[in-house]
Amino acid sequence: MRYSITVSASASRVGGISVLRSRLNDSTHAIEPFSWGYRNGYAIRFPPDDHPLAGGILVGMDGADERGNRPSNNAPDELHLGRQNPDGSPDYHGWPDRYGGLPTSQAVYNPVGGPADDLCQSPPNSPFPACIPTVLAKDVPIADVLAFPPQQITGPLANEGADSSFTGIDFVPDAFVLDPVRPGAALYSLEGDFGFSAPNATSPAPEIGHEVKLINFNQVPGSPLALRIQNFARNSTGDEAFIVDNLNAFNRPLNVRFGPDGCAYVPDYGAVRDLGADTHFVGPPANGPLVQIPGTGVIWKICPM
């Protein structure tokens, strides 16, 4: 039986993101829920039919940010496997009251007061940074939205760094299998942060994001399924790769897809000026936030050799 699956965004912060299913051989094209409880399921991909995760959908979810009317700091991005329950109901993945499988009230997620928080917008509220005491008094700890979970919660398969930003995921073809890539592996792309919070790593370590990572799935018969995640394609020079003097590296990888030639293709949006003090492009304010710097976009081609 053939299916079409899409990700639908709800306008409600409670609703979040749902994965919906429509049967293509059904003349009514009725839509039914498949999986829900995501904040922003941005990277999605079906596992191959012979894969241990077959029957579900792999979802790379971008976590909460330090902005808006429920500002949150340090929330991880998450990798989920969505599956419809045996009774036909959608499985539930915890949004809006779980970050990385933990309650949002955990102190690690407390906002620190950022310029994108609603209480820091002026007018009518106090300008940043004078608004920080108001933000902390109102939003610490981060309160639950729901009185109780509507279903049992399906936790993430794995967590990524805060603000690393999932953008794409794809399973490798046999032609791409070459150490360290194993059969059934997947690659996923991370776009990196947008400056809503402080950098997600402490110098000299490079920021998390702006790279492609590899997941190998342990498929040894008789042993538990395990995800083994490692770096795959990233900038070797660390943070310096993102300043104006050196733009010939990963900036904003937006997706990863395999072509018929067995190579991985990674479209890169290019260098931008983001909203943070650690902006990845230092230039005149007229460039504006999140505006692409001309001549920096590229498509990367990665092939086994």
Burial (CB < 10 A; 0-12, 13-18, 19+), residue 202, is exposed
Give the pLDDT score at 289: 61
What confidence tier does 14 reach under pLDDT thresholds 50, 70, 90?
Answer: very low
81 vs 58: CA distance, rounded Å: 5
Alpha helices by DSSP H, listed for the chain, are 132-139
Position 110 in a domain = no
Position 2 in a domain = no
Give the pLDDT score at 30: 85
Average model confidence (pLDDT) across the chain: 83
Give the pLDDT score at 73: 93
273 vs 295: CA distance, rounded Å: 14
Cβ atoms 162, 197 nearer than 8 A? yes
Range of the domain at 251: 163-305
Give the pLDDT score at 277: 56
For 221-245, how does the pLDDT look when each residue is reduced to its tens digit (9 = 90+)? 777 888 999 999 887 654 433 333 4
Q: Is the pLDDT of residue 262 over 70?
A: yes
> b or e along 232-252 (b: 16 or more beta carbons within 10 Å of the residue's beta carbon)?
bbbbeeebebbeeeebebbbb
Is-cis flag, bond preceding 48, omega within 30? no
Position 207 in a domain = yes
Distances (CA, A) of 96 to 37, 77, 160, 238: 7, 13, 18, 33
pTM (two decimals): 0.86
Give the pLDDT score at 283: 53
Q: Is the pLDDT of residue 8 over 50?
A: no
Position 229 in a domain = yes
Number of domains within the chain = 1
What confidence tier does 138 reach under pLDDT thresholds 50, 70, 90?
Answer: very high
Give the pLDDT score at 87: 92
Report the pLDDT averaged over residues 174-184. 94
Position 263 in a domain = yes
65 vs 197: CA distance, rounded Å: 7
Q: Looking at the chain, which runs of residues are DSSP E strands? A: 3-9, 17-23, 31-38, 41-45, 57-61, 77-82, 91-92, 98-99, 102-103, 158-160, 166-171, 186-190, 211-218, 226-233, 257-258, 264-268, 298-302
Position 80 in a domain = no
Position 225 in a domain = yes
Higher-scoring residue by pLDDT: 58, 22: 58
Position 17 in a domain = no
DSSP 120: G
Q: Is the pLDDT of residue 161 over 60?
A: yes
**Lowest-confidence segment of 4-18, 147-161, 180-194 by average pLDDT:** 4-18
**Lowest-confidence segment of 15-19, 48-52, 280-284 by average pLDDT:** 280-284
281 vs 53: CA distance, rounded Å: 40
For 184-218, how does the pLDDT look when each residue is reduced to its tens digit (9 = 90+)? 999 999 998 877 777 777 777 777 788 999 999 98
